Structure 1
Amino acid sequence: MKKQISVMALAVCLAHPAYALEMAGVNLPEKVSVAETPLVLNGAGIRKKMVFDVYVAALYTAAKSNDANAIINAATPRRIQLDMLRNVESAALYNALLEGLQDNLSAAQLKALAPKVAELEKIFTEIKVANKGDVIVLDFLPGKGVKVLVRGQVAGMVAGDAIASAMLSIWLGKSPVSESLKAALLKA
């Protein structure tokens, strides 16, 4: 009987992913897999805009690090997961991403990435709205670019390592969307 209970307990534990953190009602797994590479939760925080909680952001990396530049330029997959805490129109979400890019890139870098930024805009235009409870995943894939998943479905892919690094700079760059969020993502 004890052996049977132990096997059942093990089966229950294996059926549910291990959560590293609960934040604003969002359970964040301690590990994920991106492009067959295991990643660990590096850190997580809440993006606030004025007095509103907008999303829980979680950063997953191959190894924990508090070095933003090393993460931005890593030659391994990385993930930013955004769990929406309120409804946000896709245009507002895209404009926030664009503003983050503008704050962290030179005019020449932005000009060079203009076609990639246009692809990103198209992806977010097709999303229409990110509702409370939706999950937006940005997988940064070295040698490939950024895969965008919304509600568990691939919404698009923007090719290139430069756009991947640029997008990571939105949260981890010299002028992040929020210094406190950047610190939380680099909590390693």
Structure 2
Amino acid sequence: MPNKLLIAMLVAVLQLGSVGYAAEVEGVKLADQLELAGQTLQLNGAGLRKKMVFDVYVAALYGVNKTSEAQQILSAKSPKRLQLTMLRNVEGKALAEALRDGLQENLSASQFASHVSRIAELEKILLDTKQANKGDVINLDLIAGQGTRIQFRGQVIGSIQSDEFARDLLLIWLGNKPVQDSLKAKLLGR
């Protein structure tokens, strides 16, 4: 009898500690939900970023409410996370340039100019990482009232205090000229 109780307790503990996975993309397991800024976020969608023939990263978008509409995600005041899991080694300089280019593609000249100091902050943060290696995770946490918090390898490495910049940063993946159309569709759960 005591063995049955012990087994039942062990099973219960293991179930409590297990993480639910909603998706797997290119071997990257993605949690179906996570906690950010005191709220539970759901996996909205995930997909593969390719550049030419190279698999670069798996991107996953988390938000409070699932939606297939980019505008709803961009205008929501609730927390969001864009998680990038690297599938190859990429220098910090290349990451910084890619984000700059993505912003330039999706913002007017005056919008881009209004973010010059924030873009420089983001570039410095990414340059300081030197290199993101295969398997590394970069989280861009977008939190109303706090702006963008950047995590690398599980550590906060910087933040940029601007809600407008946080929203505009998502345009790289969800804007009218996304980094990759098929990735945008996947992030939107389509």
TM-score when scaled to structure 2?
A: 0.96
Q: State the partner residue of 1:44.
A: 46
Q: State the partner residue of 1:30.
A: 32
C-alpha distance in structure 2 between counterparts of 1:6 and 1:184, whole Å: 40
Q: State the partner residue of 2:10.
A: 8
Q: State the partner residue of 1:78.
A: 80
**Structure 1 gap ranges (5+):** none
The percent of aligned pairs where both chains have the same amino acid is 50
C-alpha distance in structure 1 between counterparts of 2:57 and 2:45, whole Å: 14
SS at match of 2:178: coil
Q: State the partner residue of 1:128.
A: 130
How many residues are paired up? Answer: 188
Q: Please tell me whether Structure 1 or Structure 2 has the larger radius of gyration of its CA atoms.
A: 2
1:144 to partner: Cα distance: 1.2
Q: State the partner residue of 1:141.
A: 143
Amino acid at match of 1:129: Q
SS at match of 1:66: coil
C-alpha distance in structure 1 between counterparts of 2:35 and 2:130, whole Å: 27
Amino acid at match of 1:127: T
**Structure 2 gap ranges (5+):** none
1:13 to partner: Cα distance: 1.6
Q: Structure 1, residues 73-92: CA drift from partner, whole Å, max 9, x if none?
A: 21000000000000000110
Q: State the partner residue of 1:114.
A: 116
| Misfit runs of 4+, over 3 Å | 1-4
Q: State the partner residue of 1:153.
A: 155
SS at match of 2:45: strand
Q: State the partner residue of 2:178.
A: 176
1:7 to partner: Cα distance: 2.3
1:171 to partner: Cα distance: 0.5
Higher mean displacement: 3-12 or 178-187: 3-12
Amino acid at match of 1:164: A
RMSD: 1.0
SS at match of 1:27: strand
1:113 to partner: Cα distance: 0.7
1:37 to partner: Cα distance: 1.0
